[in-house]
Structure 1
Amino acid sequence: MRYMWSATLCGILLAQTVYEKNIDAAFAQAKKQKKPLWIMVSATWCAPCKIVEQKVLPSQQFQEAVRRDFIPLKIYAASGGESSPGADSLAKVYDVKAFPTFLCVELTGEPFYKYTGLPSEVFGGGDDEVVQAFIAQLNEAKKARRELPELRRRFQKGDRSVEFLRTYLAKLVQLAQKDDIEKVFDAYLKAAGSVRIAWLGEPGYAKNLIVLSEMGEKYLRYAFSIAESLRNATDPYMYEQIYAPILQRDFFQGSGQALMWEVAFEKAEAYIREKQKQFPFVERMLYNMLWRMGLGAPVPEVNEKAADLALKAIALQAPSEIPDAEQREALAEEYNSLAWDFYKHVEEPGKLWTAVLLTKQALAYKPQAWYIWDTLGALYYKLKRKREALEALDKAISLGKAQGETEDGQLAETIDLREKAAQLGD
């Protein structure tokens, strides 16, 4: 174990010298070496970012891959006094709204690749699979760098075929290239002849629609129309995944006051009455959104209201029949996420016991997930149930180690909580 810890530490220390931390210095290096930049925009409080910092950035294989073709830059934004100089401005320029976001940009600052979040290999894959997934992203970025100038050239030369415009528009939407989107968007609508033509041939069309819906009223209406045309072309589960984020944009569209809790709760009930016949899932979707926003708010009444909405959402989400493997996976993550938020923000014992039941249901769907056992142990600890807390936390630690987690990494907090649980009275 000591050798593994030392190797990890050495990798992290080496990573600190590989990735530039200063934006101006990184652009200067890019100009000197005539390479584009690879930028990881993270936040000091971002848990997924820490996974990348521990599993990907220290990897010698990834370091060699990224340095071969890019100048790597890692910065912190939205982190108050700990934000990197200029990082908040850079995040605004490139429309970074979630963390981590990975950008690849030319020396001129023009982006040619953007990816937000973590690849699926991070959840359940081994360390090598995770590293390979990020190297695959680098290869996608290099491909995009070759393709984008050619797409732009074809548009400037007058290519207005529907297939070409759809491909070009999808690429611009992925990059949030707002200045170019307007021209290509209008050309696409003119060539297509109908705003109801779906992007079924485009990989990632659902994500493109979601990004498009963020760009204002005109694009939101278009995203609505496209999503509606998918109603009979996709299964109900996928349809909901496409439509729910667009409905969320519509809910907040033109109403900054909706971010005030009292107004948001009141508006939600009216919005549900308006949309429920057309979109049966809108009630569950809004309850899910509002409890995520409300739990952890500095106002106790908001916390309690959010907790009530969370329980309503879970009740509405309960499957009417045995879910398939993909749905079980999604439900396990959803239940665990809610239970963990209850652990952090809710004090009422009755609701904490409800969170225990949710966690047990998550484990029924995903019994080998060490982090769900960790949630269960944390809830028992908060309820002062010593024996149950120790059993669950021991299980979490055992599974975590078997799955490659280290005591100085993700398991550190679990081990610390286990020590605290051992101090509870019998």
Structure 2
Amino acid sequence: MAVLGNKLIELFKDQLYCDVNIKLRDGAIQAHRVVLILGSDWFAARLSENWESASKDITCNVHSTAVMKSMIEFLYSSYIETSVENVEEIYQVADYYGVKELLQRCIDFMQDSISLKNSLKMLLIAHNNEITSTKAQCLQFVDNHIEDLFQSASEDFLDLPLGLLKDIIRRDSLCVHEEVLFENINLWVSMAGEEHRRVALWKEVIPDVRFGRMSMDFFLDHILTKSVLEDAFSLLVLRHLSTLDDALPLQYTRKRQNTTCNDIVVNRFRNISHESTWVVDDSLDGDRISFTVNLDNMKLKGLLVYGRAGAYGIFSVLLYTNHSQTLLCKTQVKEQCSDELSILILFPKPVFLLRDTEYTAVLRINGGPTSYGVGGLHSASFAVDENTNLTVKFSTAVGGNTNVNNGQIKGLIFKKA
């Protein structure tokens, strides 16, 4: 059979004994009816027994000449050269002519090409051609790498159509800080040009933006001043962010995934207190912990802190370097504590850490008494890979109300730079 196949390929290359003349957009190519029927549902239907064999011509001018020739050559050899640039056109011609083997080859190529460089390109192709399985796989990759994609594939993000953008930003599994997401949505909207077009786009995307997950400072500086929202809704957001009232619908406050399997969670405590911590005017001010890391190329994503089950709190976190008392980052979030009694608070962007440099994290809570950790560790290690351990050393911060042995800061969240 292999010999017969090779001989058919040779006959096709030499255009010998062909019984079908395929008219293309530019020129024509001859082929063997039996090969076309066996490899393509479309040709099988057109070249049935009722086909007028006296006329050898069949017109195929829907697709470009180059891709048609590549597909017909594939029917003989099962070989085709696929790239990020041509895979969509090859998929479309394979779909049109019902070449199932080539269709699957394109899907496999797209799924194998999902990376920081190409994932948004593959997502757009899958979206445009309704390739459900590939789109789902692309979206899963985007969930875990969206912040990296904002940097490495920013042009592809800005080229996304509205429907696909909404498919991404409405996902609970999207691992991104809401403020970073808003900044990139704002950039996407700004590419629309005319004012009336930008206003229309904002109306479409606002229902998928979780304003209740932002800090008060960010909302005031980046949203309120731009008049993106109607006044009545802006007042609701302000009330939600500044008080313990549950003022916003769930769609604007629902949590996203925020962490991935590659994040490193280092917990400080062995146990949790049975009683609640002290409060002054319904607030805790001054819980802090100092720490160092033993590795280069580490970033601090955020903190795990204790809360009170079922209760809302407004949590503020600041990160300083000890040697210069420089404020590196700060964030604030209003959060309802789960039954697990801990809350994840992420910085808008991970903070790059220097090896063996001492940092201090400061926590302030408004919202009443919370549980706290006891039996704190002075150091904790985590296996980054087979040969590398991340070791975090904790020490009591100067001026704090707590120490290494107890406190509200349950742990730290790291990622490799």
Instruction: Return the TM-score normalized by structure 2.
Output: 0.29
Higher helix share: 1
Instruction: Return the TM-score normalized by structure 1.
Output: 0.28
The structure showing larger relative contact order (alpha-carbon pairs under 8 Å, at least 6 residues apart) is: 2
Structure ID, larger Rg:
2
Higher strand share: 2
